[in-house]
Structure 1
Amino acid sequence: MDNQEQRPFPPKPAAPPTAGLPQVSAPAANTTAAAEPSPPKHSRGTSILLKAVFALVLVGVVFALVWLANRLDSQPVAPAGDPGSGVVEISPTPLPTPLALPREGVVPPDYRLGDCFKDFDPAALRSTVVACDTGHSAQLVAVFRYPAGDSYPGREALAAKALEACRAAKLAPVANDYALNFQRAYPSGTSWDSGDRRVDCYVTADAGNVINASVLP
């Protein structure tokens, strides 16, 4: 019973009523006062409305989170080797169809991470790329690419970035079988203006084409 109370019986008269006066019958025993009215129904309705609003807000938040997750997942991820990746690349990305080797007259912008070079000269405008299991004197083991919109950082900054690339390079145990040096290459102001944004790190053998295996893992 909601919010009901029992009130006391009316007191009995002290003496019988005076003759001639209307008789008032006493209330029946165990008679209780009428129950007080139940609380107004609008309180319950308000509670239901608030729960419905909360449920709608919760559904909206969940939908927004799912939408955001799908949008983030759909953003294209730049593969390793894209210009301006902003990281030192040390793991070659194989081509779907390997290029035929040897390849002569390859220009520096076409050098790929992991390429092995015969009679390598870092200052040459063209080189010969050969299979790494044949005699070669150098291999490209790390690359860093500046974003296309960057301004020329200066020779010292480029040299420092090339050193960073060489330090990041990971070599396989077979590299210990050869007397190797790290050699760095980076753009000049002129080549930068022409679009060159690559910093390269090579391992080279002073003895010539004596390397007969890839030194990358």
Structure 2
Amino acid sequence: MNPQDVPPKPTSPPTAGIPRVEPGTDPVSFPRTETQTETPMETRTESHPDAPAPASVTWSAPRPDPEPAPAVPATKARTLWKVLFAVVLLAVVGCLAWLAVWLNTGGASPEADGSREGTLQTVETPRATSLPLPREGVKSADYAVGDCFKDFDPESLAATAVPCDSPHSAQLVAVFHYPQGESYPGAEVLKAKALEACQATKLGPAANEYQLNFQRSFPSNTSWDAGDRRADCYVSAPNGNVINKSVLP
């Protein structure tokens, strides 16, 4: 082989322009361009020792902070409190008004009680007896509140009704009516009910002009079976027929 046929020794690899990597740093790859000079494999091996591949990194967009709940304006809160206060006030006023109407109409008094317990009547009604007066032999079942009687006997089944501006000894001022379907409650219960009727009676100014007593009349077991369902209260004068005015208001 001729010496001229032996190719010359390759020159030393170029060192200019090769990036320098500091020890302990991860290599960073960049895409090559056409003007980048190829570096021999052995030179790359010596210059960049083997290093583990970088761990994979997952990139994610940061989560937006949750929007805070809208705060209730102070003016709106005050308005809600005012509305609530107005509703409560109206409810209280309505209850008071209903209670006043109920009391004024006698809802708490026995007179307005139309239930099975019976009703108490203390207001003067049209006379049950026929005109003209006086009229004798009026039955006790026909007595009406406001009627005046001459020579009255509360145990009698009949009496003589007279005008209240004429001399009389008694006046019927209250009646408690038991329901028709009620069983006989007994004499003591009927006597107590007649006393309640007397205590509930309101008398007029004329009652102060006379010496008066309350008298009670109530049905016996026999008269109850015959349909008598009333306990009566009378105002009577112990001195006989000395009353010549109605003692009711």
CA shift, 1:200, in A, is 0.2
User: Pick from 243, 246, 249: which aligns with 1:211?
Assistant: 243
**Match status 1:188 vs 2:220:** yes
Take 2:234 and 2:146, find their aligned partners in 1: how far apart are those partners? Answer: 9
Counterpart of 2:59? none
**Match status 1:174 vs 2:233:** no
User: Pick from 103, 116, 133: which aligns with 1:101?
Assistant: 133
Stretches (4+) displaced over 4 A: 95-98
Counterpart of 1:202? 234
- Residues 1:129 and 1:178: Cα distance change in structure 2 (over 3 Å): same
CA shift, 1:136, in A, is 0.2
The alignment's TM-score, normalised by the length of structure 1, stands at 0.59
Instruction: State the Cα RMSD in Å.
Output: 2.4
Counterpart of 1:121? 153
1:1-217 equivalent positions in 2, closer than 5 A: 86-94=118-126, 99-217=131-249
Deviations 1:130-177 (A, max 9, x none): 000000000000001100000001111111100000001110011010
- Residues 1:86 and 1:137: Cα distance change in structure 2 (over 3 Å): same
CA shift, 1:93, in A, is 2.1
Take 1:126 and 1:96, find their aligned partners in 2: how far apart are those partners? Answer: 13
Q: In the alignment, is the contact (CA less than 8 A) between 2:219 and 2:231 conserved in 1?
A: yes
1:138 partner amino acid? A
CA shift, 1:88, in A, is 1.2
Take 1:93 and 1:114, find their aligned partners in 2: how far apart are those partners? Answer: 7
Secondary structure of the residue that 1:157 maps to in structure 2? helix
Take 1:126 and 1:95, find their aligned partners in 2: how far apart are those partners? Answer: 15
Take 2:158 and 2:127, find their aligned partners in 1: how far apart are those partners? Answer: 21
Return 5+ residue gaps in structure 1 as ranges.
1-78
Q: Which entry has the higher C-alpha Rg, 1 or 2?
A: 2
Return 5+ residue gaps in structure 2 as ranges.
1-110
Deviations 1:20-70 (A, max 9, x none): xxxxxxxxxxxxxxxxxxxxxxxxxxxxxxxxxxxxxxxxxxxxxxxxxxx
Take 2:182 and 2:151, find their aligned partners in 1: how far apart are those partners? Answer: 33
Aligned length: 137
Secondary structure of the residue that 2:224 maps to in structure 1? helix
- Residues 1:85 and 1:211: Cα distance change in structure 2 (over 3 Å): farther
1:142 partner amino acid? A
Identity of counterpart residues, as a percentage? 65
Counterpart of 1:50? none
